[in-house]
Amino acid sequence: MVSVPWEAMLLPLQLGQREVLAHIQDDLLLSASLWSNVALAGLSVLLFSYMARDVRSRRARLVFAATVFIPLVSLSSYLGLVSGLTAGFLQMPTGHALAGDQVLVQWGRYLTWTLSTPLILLALGLLADADPVDLAAVIAADIAMCVTGLAAALTVSSYAFRWAFYGVSSAFFLVVLYALLTRWPDSAAAAGTDEIFDTLRTLTVVLWIGYPVVWALGVEGLAVVDSTALTSWGYSLLDIGAKYVFAYLLLDWVAGNEGVLVGGPLDAARGDVSATRD
């Protein structure tokens, strides 16, 4: 058995990262789509942490905790992308509009969505006081959606299999939409948070639908938009709305209406009435 030095095993990975980094640095539009989110995510972490300073009730603090981690995950993800760590060149398969071309695939986006979108759903579920079993099932479907989306992006053996994974991912997405549109609104109405929930639900549904649309039209799918930079900006703009704008609207409401969140099962189990004290 021939042993291979670990330095030799790491060399292709190192060269790949350097090549991706150089490509990103040379493309101003692509680089801007990533660095803009690094800056916004960092500012969001600071702002949201400051907004949490006076929150007392357990349910409200859980909403804040879940939501503050959204830009933290995003910050880590975009640093990985802009450094070349979580992006790489893949040759598109026969049948793809860019067949034979090396296309930059930002697979790190799927990693961050696998971590950040469950946090978004957790925050929405806590806001609506959704049934814990429903919440767990929806989060599981969401994670499966992201993982199969990653499979669609990384599959280069067959163009048909790329779309097969895309279809499976879309099916899991329908489970998430079903909960947001039909099950959780009634819970939010019973909890007295239906007004803000409806706003955030609409924002989330509209923007989340945009992600598979960008995939289908961008360089990973039909390549109607055959620019990696423009595809990256599509994802980045959706992230700005679905993460930072969403998080600000939610936390601003929670900070100003904390008393509405007191009295749910989480606070009742703890006997937490601190948010109602003068």
pLDDT reported for residue 57: 83
Q: How many separate domains does the chain show?
A: 1
pLDDT reported for residue 263: 58
Give the CATH number for residue 21.
1.20.1070.10
Query: Which range marks the domain in which residue 236 is found?
Result: 16-267
Q: Does residue 5 sit within a domain?
A: no
Residue in 73, 65, 185 with CA at minimum distance from that of residue 134:
185
Q: How far is CA 229 from CA 55, 92, 214, in A?
A: 40, 17, 12
Q: Does residue 251 sit within a domain?
A: yes
pLDDT digits (tens, 9 = 90+) for 86-144: 999 999 999 999 999 999 999 999 999 999 999 999 999 999 999 999 999 999 999 99
Q: Does residue 158 sit within a domain?
A: yes
pLDDT reported for residue 30: 97
Averaged pLDDT, 56-69: 89
Q: Does residue 278 sit within a domain?
A: no
Residue that wins the pLDDT comparison between 258 and 233: 233
Q: Does residue 276 sit within a domain?
A: no
Q: Does residue 10 sit within a domain?
A: no
pLDDT reported for residue 239: 97
Q: Does residue 11 sit within a domain?
A: no
Q: Does residue 146 sit within a domain?
A: yes
